[in-house]
Structure 1
């Protein structure tokens, strides 16, 4: 694993760092100094990131809450351990629950970003009574990332072709591995942060901390991005059984069952209007890239339309409400995949209103 932020990094000011042993692995937990009381609000980061992406939001959260951020396995300061993708996101979700146990937290508000939103949904599925409320920030579709169509998440190909560990840009993986890549290269970590994690107009505050956070990703066939398998279906690659990207392959992941859980925690879905990662026209969906001519051999939208990620999430949350739950969608205009760093005050105001409304 690349080194995480040093403890004396300016972005750590006011943040405590603890290595918490659990029954599964040792987890890096970050908290706001002096905020040990109040209802716990647990932040779960997304793919190719770690908890420093939440520090600004954690520090801005009202004082009656206890902000806690966890680094997932293979990210930040948490132990590197193989990810069994055949369990979907359960390795990550089980780690979060084990961390709650180690911290003696029976219930908590959970806030999940991107892949972390999927981890929160998995915790809701497996232990709904432990979730006081949920906030999903630009979450992965309940039907995974890539290889599905329609609001019901139907597989385009039976092997999930077009999703999983083989769909990633190899140059970006090399950059994460520490190979020398110029910042101006579109595949550099800094370029990906600027082009896709945020929308144009971001002020760039704490950029070095976010780049370091991304570089804390453990790279390998059983971590990021994972393995892959050949496919007879376009684009010729199907999900493997190990690693981060395969946890979100539709052959391994289906979170739509949250519509049927009991109890149903109140849920807030926050998304950036200009998100290019989780979108109905995602620039990380090979079907969308094929439609744009960026991936050769695309069979056409009638065979393989881009995945309607937003429509899929909205459909599942509508079923959640129809089943007696409460869910609200809030769109922040002018921001991309990371509203918590792009528009921190507006983001925190939405989260605080949601938390305050939970009985």
Structure 2
């Protein structure tokens, strides 16, 4: 991966009993810990520009999850949901002697942040969920989290785009293929009006191509199914780890120590929304997956509505949350509207 980083951001490695973890750091080593957790097919590099602009009063740490960026590649046991990732974070925090942590999770990183809050709420002072996946997992559920199919068909590793996986595996950094990493980033990671700085875009695409590809990592394995659309989740890899078969962070509502939560998302997000182009139900409704059984049997997953429902329940149970919805913004508010994102985040952390 390209090691060129903005001024003030340093690359390091931390070895724990679980993982040899690559981390980016910025700010005061004695400052308030602020940890940034990246999303799927990305890495800490997507946070580097934000890290340069945060006040030096924070000790900013952005790790690469297992199988991403420059961290060690180890298998992801999907039957544990995202606990491999959250347990890796816990080992990292122990190694760095971090407590009173403000935790930011983007996309799948939001799912990891929710899981960490369930397992170790005493370590957290605040949680920011940026464009987070639903607490009910990714794909294949109705509003209340019930599965559309008994075997969770239509979720997991079998739903990945084969061409994208192939281009990722060979490290294609061009935009010549419809499903190249660069094309996918420019089409889906941001809203339609965002234009990347060329050098930054190159760094992000290289970070995407550092993703470990295979059954044990991205996207994971799959099982045939008699239910629509003919494929069900396997037991290994990232997309299976976030399948609702194994992922459920609704226990967030019941934790005793409830850190305040900031939820930030864009109204033009095509990855996590009630009309996600990565959700089998929506693709079926849109005619992109054949033989869709209809809204009654397999509706699009209402991801945003589900998140709001769980956060409302969190507030009813004694917690607090604040929602910020960015207009004309896609999946990456911290990249698309960095000044506003930083302002909202810092105001939240100070309150």
Give the equivalent residue in structure 2 for 1:169: 161
**How far is 1:227 from its partner?**
0.3
Q: Distance in 1 between matches of 2:229 and 2:137?
A: 17
When the two structures are superposed, what TM-score results if normalisation uses the length of structure 1? 0.95
Of residues 68, 85, 100, the one that matches 1:75 is 68
Deviates more, 1:176-185 or 1:257-266: 176-185
Give the equivalent residue in structure 1 for 2:191: 199
Give the equivalent residue in structure 1 for 2:120: 127
**How far is 1:179 from its partner?**
6.2
Q: Distance in 2 between matches of 1:116 and 1:70?
A: 11
- Contact 2:171 2:209 survives alignment (8 Å): no
Q: Distance in 2 between matches of 1:180 and 1:110?
A: 32
Secondary structure at 2:216 match in 1? coil
Q: Distance in 1 between matches of 2:235 and 2:275?
A: 26
**How far is 1:180 from its partner?**
5.3
Of residues 12, 33, 36, the one that matches 2:29 is 36
Of residues 185, 189, 192, the one that matches 2:177 is 185
CA RMSD in angstroms, aligned pairs only: 1.1
Give the equivalent residue in structure 2 for 1:241: 235
Does the alignment pair 1:316 with 2:310?
yes
**How far is 1:97 from its partner?**
0.7
Unaligned runs of 5+ in 1: none
Does the alignment pair 1:156 with 2:148?
yes
Give the equivalent residue in structure 1 for 2:260: 266
Equivalent residues, number: 349
Does the alignment pair 1:295 with 2:289?
yes
Q: Deviations over 1:158-177 (max 9, x none)?
A: 11111000000000000110
Q: Deviations over 1:172-231 (max 9, x none)?
A: 000110165851322011110010000122131210011011111000100000001111
Deviates more, 1:173-182 or 1:249-258: 173-182
- Contact 2:136 2:250 survives alignment (8 Å): yes
When the two structures are superposed, what TM-score results if normalisation uses the length of structure 2? 0.97
Give the equivalent residue in structure 2 for 1:137: 130
Question: Which runs of 4 or more aligned residues in structure 1 lie more than 4 Å from their structure 2 counterparts after TM superposition?
Answer: 179-182
Within-5 A mapping of 1:89-100 = 89-100=82-93
Does the alignment pair 1:15 with 2:5?
no
Unaligned runs of 5+ in 2: none
